Amino acid sequence: MSLSLLGSLEKALLAGLALGLIATIIDYIRMLKLRQKLPPGPFPLPLVGNHFQTPSIRPWIEWEKWTEYYNSPMITLWIGRHPRIILNDAWTASDLLEKKSDIFSSRPRLILMGDVINATKTNQTTLPYGDRWRVHRKLILMEVVNFVVPGVFIMETLPFLSKLPSWLYKFPSQLSFGAACMWRYFYLLTEEGAKASEDNFSKILMNSQEKSGLTDVEVGGLAGNLIGGGVDTTSSTMISCVLAMCAFPDVQRKAQAEIDSVISADRSPTWEDLDTKLPYIVALVKEVLRWRSVAILAGIPHANTKDVEYKGYHFPAGTNMIGNLWAIHRNPRDFPDPDVFRPERFLNGLERPYPNAKGSNPFGWGRRQCSGQPFAEQGLLYSLTRLIWAFDLKAGLDNNQGKEVKLDIFAYTESENMRPEPFKARFIPRSEKIHRLVMEEAAVAREALRKYDGETKLTMEDASRNPAWV
């Protein structure tokens, strides 16, 4: 290679670097100008923003501290070149996400949760607000995964990484392929389920595919959302209730006393007993949902469809808005002694003012609230009533001295969809008659469900032979 050619390449490289530096400086000036119009927060760096200042584990706890430090109900977190607004106050979140839900019902651009796994325009949870979302809304529940947590994944900070060739950076292509296999797997399960003789959701989905023009990816996503949104979150809330009953036995005794006053000793609770006859139990379920909200960031972020001015701040269209339920549901102004489990907060109306009639926001805000909220609330009320009626829930015993173990009410998983870490608990039937009733009803239920026996023979290997890309 001649010296003149080397010199030309060197000049071209230097020119490219200079242009890149100039573009970075111009973009950083844009960031700093926009920052002046946004809520306070840590100072961002060029290109990466606050990525390296954001904890990768349970960042919502740190965000709560930032709200105190900056004395602001909102904080701005820069993920790469774009701001995320963390809402740490119920009233502020209500002002924006509920009272302005006609504007704040869309979704921001999400790299991992959307683009890379082909969900941006195919999955109800990430679809922009509009007619396509309404079709999905009628069919399914909401699902949340850790990809939604801002500042955890470098690809959200530097989106260009998702476009790199696989030989240079494998993660995006691996994630994309895994998602395509998952969509196909859930589609195949839906096809299989639709062949059953009983009416089921799979039949509704397959019929809707033709009527509404849904793609295979959309059908697979809707089926996956049903499982992810309806099973995992409910079970996590139930485990939190068990923890609360073990840690706060006085509450358990009050709940059992109310149940005993309504339900005779020779039967178990029924749907007819709920709502109006057991107000303390209803309040207890609401307190579980507040005390340790499962979707701690209230689901997928919201985004505004047009520019918004609010309390002196300017939010450009498409601004990413996240509700931090860890801070909101533990605000001592709204919930004094927030880590104490006390159903009285919701008994006979709300104990303290709150921006909505329910008194909390475990299912999110506005038009993008979890689609399965009524189903989840009813299921929890029925299941937890029967659980507390049937058993004395107590902390487990240690292996050495036979004493009750000390339970940690803060020992929760790192996931955005959080649940208690494994803990020891005892389920003691409250009487021999109740024990007998539980066993008899279990036998009846087993027979009723026997028609659903059997397991699918489908595997992820089957799905990987024909991944669903569209």
Question: For the CA atoms of the chain, what is the radius of gyration?
Answer: 26
Element spanning 86, H or E? strand 82-87
Return the amino acid letter for 38: L
Contact assessment for residue 239 and residue 419, using Cβ atoms and an 8 Å cutoff: yes
* Contacts made by residues 372-378, CB under 8 angstroms, sequence distance 24+: 372/141, 372/142, 372/229, 372/230, 375/141, 375/230, 376/230, 376/233, 376/234, 376/237, 377/285
CA distances from residue 187 to 232, 274, 352, 465 in whole angstroms, order as listed: 20, 37, 46, 13
Angle separating helix axes 233-247 and 373-390, nearest 10 degrees: 40
The DSSP secondary-structure symbol of 397 reads: B
Beta-carbon contacts of residue 369 (< 8 Å; ≥ 6 apart): 363
Q: Cα(357)–Cα(118) distance, rounded to whole angstroms?
A: 37
Residue 207 backbone dihedrals phi, psi, to 5 degrees:
-65, -40
Q: How far apart are the first and last CA of the chain?
A: 47
CA dihedral 157, 162, 163, 165 (to 10 degrees): 130
Q: Cα(182)–Cα(171) distance, rounded to whole angstroms?
A: 16
Q: Is 246 annotated as a binding residue?
A: no
- The pairing of strands 425-429 and 391-395 is antiparallel
CA angle 167, 173, 177 (to 5 degrees): 140
Q: Cα(461)–Cα(453) distance, rounded to whole angstroms?
A: 23
Beta-carbon contacts of residue 450 (< 8 Å; ≥ 6 apart): none
Annotated binding site: 370
Residues making up the binding site for heme: 370
